[in-house]
Amino acid sequence: MAAIREVLARLNEAADAFTQALDSQENDDRSSLREPDPWYNLSLLSAQALEAQGELIATAEAIIRLAKGPQACLTSYSDKVPLKGSITYHELSAALPIAPELLQRLVRLASLAGFLVEDKDGAVRHSAMSSVFLRDPPAADAARFLFDVDMRASNYFYDSIKLDPSGRDNRCCPVSLAFQKDDKSEAQAHPLTIWDILERDAALKAQFHSSMVAVLASPSHALKHVPNAYDWGKFKTLVDVGGSQGQASLAIAEKYEGIHIIVQDLPEVVEMLQPSRATEAARRLDFQAHDFFTEQRTVADGYFLRQVLHDWPDKEVQTIIKNLVPACRSGTKLLVMDIVLPVPGSIPWFMEKQLRSVDVSMFSLCSAKERTLEEFRTLVESCDARFRFEGVCTPPGSGTSLLSWVFDSGSGNARADEIPVNKDPLDG
């Protein structure tokens, strides 16, 4: 993209100007400038150095926005601005509960981050980033959910940790406390989980489900990674536990002929579904009402939990896994597809930052977490020693990994040095 190359050239120029400005002035510890993470005293920077610093920061932020793309950069929203053309501040304020003068101040700040544009006539039009609210409704809902729920909860981190230093009680998480403060009636006496909150607010629930569509549309969580993560042809029957509308199961069935998949979810989810029978693969999917906090009664060759366990604290995860055991037979597979947190510093900084952000977001929403490989192993194998770990595979480009266990009453667990990591699932 030409725009990235142009900004990159400006970034190099700004970096050269800033380093030259630092080198040309006195510094109270010049040796620190040669360190990988240099320290310098801002109060000693000259006017020239401060100007160069400002240009460097601005161009660095610009190239980050371009590299991430408009969907990933969403930080606010306004669907009142037309997709084509522009709108005056007075026209826009008439559709919003805000005075034109204050609106102008906010738009001018947002435009510096690449969100909305004030044109030469003083009217407001969309930038690539802000236009996502009209071009991509699921991405817009994800941004709205971030502001309506996640950001509201950020004010309650301290209170949550005071109440529950372990961070494992999903009725004391920041989101729960945030909504309790807003609801002085029943919720005050009976703390709510995020799932209770969504059930009580139909609009928020719809927004949440729409935002999940945006997640599935992201390259790192695309459905194409699911059939590539394992040799699903080993199974005649598979149960997709908490499988929602069966999108992941359909992706598997389309690639692997002969597999029959039972998609399980709560009764209210299954009742709303209108399963398609249009293709041969779709006809190999059946939907079944089941609460994974109750005992599993459907016997199958394998049980698949995709992005389920990261929604729950350890205690609840143990309940989910233990409820599968009565249906397990020797050779039954347990397959978990979730983010696997890396060893700190083992992957690029930007990627690790994203994963750590998601991890803390799971705490905020439901006192849950993303887990390391060792945490997954410890958690699953503590439920029943007959679960023997087989390995983990991360398909190229996927943000999630597939971990597999086999239920085997005659074998112990593999030693850590025997764990096959990132093995090609089709190698056998």
Q: Is 90 exposed, middle or buried (0-12, 13-18, 19+ CB in 10 A)?
A: exposed
Task: Give me 93's structure tokens.
Answer: 């304020």
Nearest CA among 226, 306, 231 for reference residue 265: 306
CB atoms near residue 313 (< 10 Å): 19
Which of 251-280 are b and which e, b meaning 16 or more Cβ less than 10 Å from the residue's Cβ? bbbeebeebebbbbbeeebbeeeeeeeeee
Name residue, tokens 């039972």. Answer: 262
Residue 260 among the catalytic residues: no
Residues 6+ apart with CB under 8 A from 59: 7, 10, 11, 14
Query: Could you give phi then psi for residue 91, rounded to 5 degrees?
Result: -65, -40
CB atoms near residue 427 (< 10 Å): 8
Return the biggest CA–CA distance within the chain.
77
Q: What is the rounded CA–CA span in Å between residue 103 and residue 100?
A: 5
Q: What is the rounded CA–CA span in Å between residue 266 and residue 289?
A: 5
Cβ atoms 324, 351 nearer than 8 A: no
DSSP states along 264-314: EE-HHHHHH-----SSTTGGGEEEEE--TTS------SEEEEES-GGGS-H
Active site residues: 310
